[in-house]
Amino acid sequence: MKFLDLAKVYVRSGSGGGGCVSFLREKYVEFGGPDGGDGGHGGSVWAEAVEGLNTLIDFRYQQHFFADNGRPGMGRQRTGASGEDIVLRVPVGTEILDEDQETLIADLTEVGQRVLLAKGGNGGWGNLHFKTATNQAPRRANPGQEGVERTIWLRLKLIADVGLLGLPNAGKSTFLAATSNARPKIADYPFTTLHPNLGVVGIDGVEFVVADIPGLIEGASEGRGLGDLFLGHVERCAVLLHLIDGNSGTLIEDYHTIINELEAYGGELADKPRITVLNKIDTLDAEEREFLREELEDACGERVYLMSGVSREGVDQVLRVLRSCIDEDRLHRKGAEEEEAPWQP
């Protein structure tokens, strides 16, 4: 399935049906009077967050969503049928923006959340509604209210607990593959990751979601490389995991490159809790590890952890540190029956 995190759609609610002008005509009813029914309401357009989706690819193939119009009223006081609503099913974490791509209409962060995008028009009144003591045979009815037409943008920000940051080939995809069932593309050349990947990581009986985004390079905020288009997917994370390649000859420059891009991106991303890890230590001896760690700790002013995604050395320690940074209500605990259930063929 292809990944798409931005889509432009056109929605239009249904117009209300017109009211009816009608008079009762029966053989034994001398003064039947007006009996025109009201028009039906037009269908509305809704957006709803549902489970099982992590991309907006469906909206690449269909961009127009038009709800049904209401049916007109009829004689014998019959009201027209209302138009059917349309529901846009979107992934959890979808932001709905106005046409200017800046005005936020809604942010759907929980399964089942719904928002009204375009309200259907009201049905017009039939002439029965206009009957009064002084006007007992009205010959007018209201037309139905017009529907609402608008253009909106859907922007997906994945719901994850941990976001992976680093330069291309820092080992982010290898870490995700080693700790979860996700199978991102792994190769020895830059930009093997072209779209975000999600993986569920478990440690000490709890699980949390890790998001891997394409690597950043210097000038990403200005559009270099893949740019900072995917940084929005780690905005909702509780903690960021910053991986630095231990084989790089420019550790300090690599560290500051990512920090500068986070600050250039703006918002609260640069202020989020961040865990710094020296990765690929399986290629370093003990003396090199300590020297590089001390050098990196002096530069960032915080503790630096050692890890290798290939050999899994230090991985569990990093996962426990990440777990401690995530609120308990965001963690998913494995049930006792899930952990101890016997194997069955």
Residues 6+ apart with CB under 8 A from 176: 164, 182, 184, 197, 199, 210, 212
Burial 63-100 (b: 16+ CB within 10 A, else e): eebbbbbbbbbbbebbbbebbebbbbebbbbbbbbeee
277 carries a ligand binding annotation? no
2 carries a ligand binding annotation? no
171 carries a ligand binding annotation? yes
What the block records as the tokens of 59 is: 């909206």
Other C-beta atoms lying within 10 Å of the C-beta of residue 215: 24
242 carries a ligand binding annotation? no
Helix segments in 157-285, DSSP class H: 172-179, 251-265
What the block records as the tokens of 8 is: 């432009």
195 carries a ligand binding annotation? yes
128 carries a ligand binding annotation? no
166 carries a ligand binding annotation? yes
215 carries a ligand binding annotation? yes
269 carries a ligand binding annotation? no
Q: Is 303 exposed, middle or buried (0-12, 13-18, 19+ CB in 10 A)?
A: exposed
Q: Which residues on adjacent β-strands are paired with residue 89?
A: 48
Cα gap 81→159, rounded to integer Å: 40
311 carries a ligand binding annotation? no
Q: Counting every residue, how long is the chain?
A: 345
309 carries a ligand binding annotation? yes
182 carries a ligand binding annotation? no
127 carries a ligand binding annotation? no
DSSP code string of 180-212: SS------SSS----S-EEEEEEETTEEEEEEE
282 carries a ligand binding annotation? yes
At 259 the three-state DSSP class reads helix
280 carries a ligand binding annotation? yes
196 carries a ligand binding annotation? no
Residues flagged as binding site for GTP: 166-173, 191-195, 212-215, 279-282, 308-310
Residues flagged as binding site: 166-173, 191-195, 212-215, 279-282, 308-310
Residues flagged as binding site for Mg(2+): 173, 193
